[in-house]
């Protein structure tokens, strides 16, 4: 197993904040909604059986993690998804997944090749 | 038609587990062969710049196996895995206990199951690591429940394209 070289404390802190924010299903649902376009707190609260203050609390966590920014419009203050920390988190979590994904894609190719041959030769290892 | 590679699912059950699930478009016997024959293993376990240079398999209960990978270029690093077959159910399941030569945090137990259905084979690998800390290192800081977050991330990022 290779240990990855990520070491910078700032990156680790940022990732911590991102992962903490993502650990909650409501917050993930909020992000999924914002991925389709900006929305007000009221609009975000609508699909949830949750009060507006409860949603605002979740939004604060997302804002602190840099995943959501708020617009300037005083009355509406629309929420917007900030994708950069997400991309960073995906890249970080992706290393292990990438390893399996790449290995298994090579196995796909090998299986295809073996099946296109008339017979599979029985070789001793 | 969806891409078979999209069937890859990685989850983190309990405190020390990692489960990897993936479908393959081949019968179980062939997928199994690719896991226990060195001539086949070497082909798909060799990545660009990192070749599987050694493979020894004694395929019987209590038998040993040993794999070695060599990075290319000057000072190319070596990584190895060696272990024992604890249980063998041909074309269905392999249970191994292994250790890593470059970093050895303790024995790693792995159960690989091959389940054929409708011409496809689902390979499920359940890895049990020595501790929660080891899992976090292996997964690059991923903690319990993060796999769900990861799947959600996929969906969120996919929804943003084109951004």
Mutate which: A13, A15, A33, A110, vs B, most B CBs within 10 A: A110
Which residue in chain A is spatially nearest to B20 when comparing CA positions? A100
Q: How far apart are CA B134 and CA B142, in angstroms?
A: 11
pLDDT digits (tens, 9 = 90+) for A29-40: 888 888 888 899
Alpha-carbon distance of A18 to A84, in angstroms, equals 11
Residue B81: asked if its preceding bond is cis (omega within 30°), the reply is no
Report pLDDT digits (tens) over A38-97: 899 888 888 888 888 999 999 999 999 899 999 877 777 899 988 777 766 666 566 788
For residue A1, list chain B residues with Cβ-Cβ distance below 8 A.
79, 100, 102-103, 138
pLDDT at residue A77 in the model = 85
CB contact under 8 A, A97 and B10: yes
List pLDDT tens digits, range A99-117: 888 899 999 999 999 999 7
Q: Which two tokens stand for residue A46?
A: 């609508």
Per the CB < 8 Å rule, is A125 touching B37?
Answer: yes
Q: Given the cut 0.95, state whether the ipTM is greater than it.
A: no
**Rounded distance between C-alpha atoms, residue B31 and residue B136, angstroms:** 29
**Residues B88-133: tens digit of each pLDDT:** 999 999 999 999 887 788 899 999 999 999 989 999 999 999 988 8
8 Å CB contact of B140 and A95 = yes
Averaged pLDDT for residues B26-30:
95
Among candidates B154, B131, B156, B126, which has minimal Cα distance to B22?
A: B126
Reduced 3-state DSSP string for B103-134: CCCCCEEEEEEEEEECCEEEEEEEEECCCHHH
- Contact call for A125 and B10, based on CB within 8 A: no
> Does residue B126 sit at the A interface (CB-CB below 8 Å)?
no
């Amino acid at each position: 197993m290779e240990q990855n070289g990520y070491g910078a404390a700032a990156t680790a802190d940022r990732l911590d904040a991102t992962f903490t924010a993502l650990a909650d299903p409501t917050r993930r649902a909020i992000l999924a909604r914002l991925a389709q376009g900006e929305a007000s707190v009221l609009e975000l609260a609508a699909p949830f059986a949750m009060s507006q203050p409860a949603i605002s609390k979740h939004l604060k966590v997302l804002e602190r993690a840099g995943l959501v920014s708020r617009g300037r419009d005083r009355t509406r203050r629309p929420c917007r998804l900030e994708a950069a920390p997400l991309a960073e988190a995906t890249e970080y979590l992706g290393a292990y997944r990438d390893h399996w994904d790449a290995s298994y894609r090579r196995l796909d190719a090998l299986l295809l090749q073996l099946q296109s041959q008339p017979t599979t030769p029985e070789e001793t290892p | 038609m969806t891409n078979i590679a999209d069937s890859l699912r990685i989850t983190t059950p309990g405190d020390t587990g990692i489960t990897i699930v993936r479908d393959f478009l081949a019968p179980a016997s062939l997928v199994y062969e690719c896991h226990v024959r060195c001539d086949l293993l070497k082909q798909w376990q060799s990545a660009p710049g990192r070749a599987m240079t050694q493979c020894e398999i004694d395929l019987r209960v209590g038998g040993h196996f040993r794999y070695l990978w060599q990075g290319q270029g000057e000072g190319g690093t070596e990584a190895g895995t060696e272990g024992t077959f604890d249980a063998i159910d041909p074309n269905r399941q392999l249970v191994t206990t292994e250790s890593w030569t470059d970093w050895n945090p303790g024995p790693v137990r792995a159960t690989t199951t091959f389940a054929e259905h409708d011409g496809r084979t689902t390979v499920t690998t359940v890895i049990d690591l020595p501790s929660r800390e080891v899992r976090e290192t292996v997964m690059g800081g991923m903690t319990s429940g993060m796999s769900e977050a990861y799947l959600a991330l996929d969906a969120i990022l996919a929804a943003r394209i084109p951004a």
